[in-house]
């Protein structure tokens, strides 16, 4: 199957899109992979070419074949009109937000959103006379009561960062659209393979592509994809801000995405199995994984998602810092790092109460975020079992 086949209306599965989209082998001497186009200056042969502002390539900041190929691939997966590529997940988030709000407006943001998103909304937007308020991630249709004439955007992150609440995106989108507000959804956890925000009512969907898209912990990239109504504003905002991505990072993302379907299947199955296993371990008081039947939002998860991501959280009983150190310092396979989505497993302690404002986090116990990588599964269980034993012993 070629890209021309899809352009003519031939349907394709996500797996086939991931394998074939954005390659354009026929334009590059038959090479399977899109080459890395490094360059700033694009030469024009005639004055007519120089003055053709509709040409696909005019200057290397945004008009790069490698980066545009990545945007084409993501757009196909998301069912989007178009996609811009940013140099980090946060820059994709900020570009999407700035495409939807202006001075005098406000944005409503889920209280369980990614912390850098919160910081930008509080500290960054205030410099431009834009307000922000945080809402209960489980508010659903009740968000209608929070929307005012100033509200121009609603930001959704499902599941929520760290605490993994599933949001009722269709209900939120219906309430927002009824008042003329735009909906932005962070889909980094499930990817478009397992969750389709644009089909559920979102107008823009963003990804920390650094995570699952890249998949190898070796590039920083973000994406923002829009429906037909919002695409011109998103594209123009991206260009005005000068948010440019290295073609090398775009290439690494393209390369990572070729295996996204098989990686997501493995990451998702492993995360769900480890989460269920952890529920049965001594000292584990709660596991926060929306794929588990015990999760309070499991019914919403089953309705709107077709699979699980690699990430979840667990809560252990309260213990002194020495117990936390004993647990994580002795880990052999689980590393400590602030990212996730790579082939390596990760486990870090955190405290949600530090960033909650709309819904205070007052649950007692020590929280850990777990990313399940591709190591031997029995080896991961053995490593985590030993870690829990150290924690329990040090907290006794």
CATH number for the domain spanning 297: value is: 3.90.1150.10
* pLDDT at 252 (0 to 100): 96
Report the pLDDT value the prediction gives residue 23, as an integer from 0 to 100: 65
Block mean pLDDT (10 aa), the chain, length 396: 45 80 68 73 87 82 88 96 97 98 98 96 96 98 98 98 97 98 98 98 98 96 98 96 93 95 97 98 96 98 98 96 96 95 97 92 95 97 98 91
103 and 16 fall within a common domain: yes
> Are 382 and 244 members of one domain?
no
Predicted local confidence at residue 54, as pLDDT? 81
Domain boundary among 257, 292, 317: 257
Q: Are residues 220 and 272 in the same domain?
A: no
29 lies in the same domain as 153: yes
Q: Mind telling me the catalytic residues?
A: 61, 114, 186, 211
The structure tokens listed for 5 are 């086949």
Question: Looking at the structure, do residues 144 and 224 belong to the same domain, yes or no?
Answer: yes
Instruction: Report how many domains make up the chain.
Output: 2
Element at 359 (helix H, strand E): none
Domain of residue 239: give its range.
3-257
Burial 241-262 (b: 16+ CB within 10 A, else e): eebbbbbebbbbbbbbbbebbe
User: What is residue 113's predicted lDDT score, i.e. its pLDDT?
Assistant: 96
CATH of residue 159: 3.40.640.10
Query: What are the tens digits of pLDDT across the range 104-117?
Result: 999 999 999 999 99
What's CA 114's distance to the chain center, in Å? 10
> Using CA atoms, how far apart are residues 196 and 305, in angstroms rounded to an integer?
8
How are beta strands 106-110 and 151-157 bridged, if at all?
parallel
Structure tokens at 177: 């659209």
Residues 85 and 177 both lie in one domain: yes
Helix axes 321-329, 377-395, angle to 10 degrees: 160
Question: Which residue, 227, 257, 287, sits at the end of a domain?
Answer: 257
Domain end marker among 239, 257, 275: 257
pLDDT at position 202: 98
Average pLDDT, the chain: 93
Residues 152 and 185 grouped into a single domain: yes
Q: Are residues 230 and 268 in the same domain?
A: no
Convert the pLDDT of each residue in 60-74 to its tens digit: 788 888 999 999 999
pLDDT, one tens digit per residue, over 334-393 is 999 999 999 999 999 999 998 899 999 999 999 999 999 999 999 999 999 999 999 999
Which residue's entry shows tokens 């930008």? 120
Helix residue ranges, H only, the chain: 3-7, 14-20, 47-50, 65-78, 89-98, 115-119, 169-178, 191-194, 231-241, 247-257, 260-279, 298-304, 321-329, 377-395
Q: Is residue 236 domain-shared with residue 337, that is, in the same domain?
A: no
């Amino acid at each position: 199957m070629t890209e021309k086949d899809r352009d003519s209306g031939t349907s394709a599965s996500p797996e086939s899109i991931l394998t074939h989209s954005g390659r354009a082998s026929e334009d590059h001497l038959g090479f399977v992979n899109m080459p890395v186009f490094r360059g700033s200056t694009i030469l024009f042969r005639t004055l007519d070419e120089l003055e053709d502002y509709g040409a696909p390539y005019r200057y290397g900041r945004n008009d790069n074949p490698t980066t545009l190929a990545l945007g084409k691939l993501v757009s196909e997966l998301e069912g989007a009109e178009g996609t811009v590529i940013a140099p980090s997940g946060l820059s994709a988030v900020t570009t999407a937000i700035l495409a939807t709000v202006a001075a005098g407006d406000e944005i409503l943001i889920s209280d369980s959103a990614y912390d850098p998103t919160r910081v930008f909304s509080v500290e960054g937007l205030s410099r431009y006379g834009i307000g922000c308020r945080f809402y209960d991630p489980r508010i659903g249709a009740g968000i209608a009561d929070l929307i005012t004439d100033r509200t121009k955007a609603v930001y959704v992150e499902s599941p929520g960062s760290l605490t993994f609440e599933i949001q009722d995106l269709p209900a939120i989108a219906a309430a927002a659209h009824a008042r003329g507000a735009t909906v932005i959804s962070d889909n980094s956890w499930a990817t478009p393979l397992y969750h389709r925000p644009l089909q559920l009512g979102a107008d823009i969907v963003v990804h920390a592509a650094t995570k699952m898209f890249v998949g190898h912990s070796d590039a920083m990239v973000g994406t923002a994809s829009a429906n037909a109504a919002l695409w011109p504003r998103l594209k123009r905002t991206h260009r005005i801000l000068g948010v440019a991505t290295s073609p090398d990072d775009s290439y690494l993302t393209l390369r990572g995405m070729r295996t996204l379907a098989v990686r997501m299947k493995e990451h998702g199955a492993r995360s769900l199995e480890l989460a269920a296993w952890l529920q049965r371990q001594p000292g584990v008081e709660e596991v926060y994984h929306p794929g588990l039947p015990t999760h309070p939002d499991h019914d919403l998860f089953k309705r709107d998602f077709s699979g699980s991501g690699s990430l979840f959280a667990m809560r252990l009983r309260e213990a002194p810092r020495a117990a936390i150190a004993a647990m994580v310092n002795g880990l052999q396979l689980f590393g400590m790092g602030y990212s996730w989505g790579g082939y390596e497993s990760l486990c870090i302690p955190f405290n949600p109460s530090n960033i909650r404002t709309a819904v205070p986090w007052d649950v007692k116990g020590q929280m850990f975020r777990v990313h399940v990588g591709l190591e031997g599964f029995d080896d991961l269980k053995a490593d985590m079992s030993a870690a829990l034993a150290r924690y329990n012993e040090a907290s006794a």
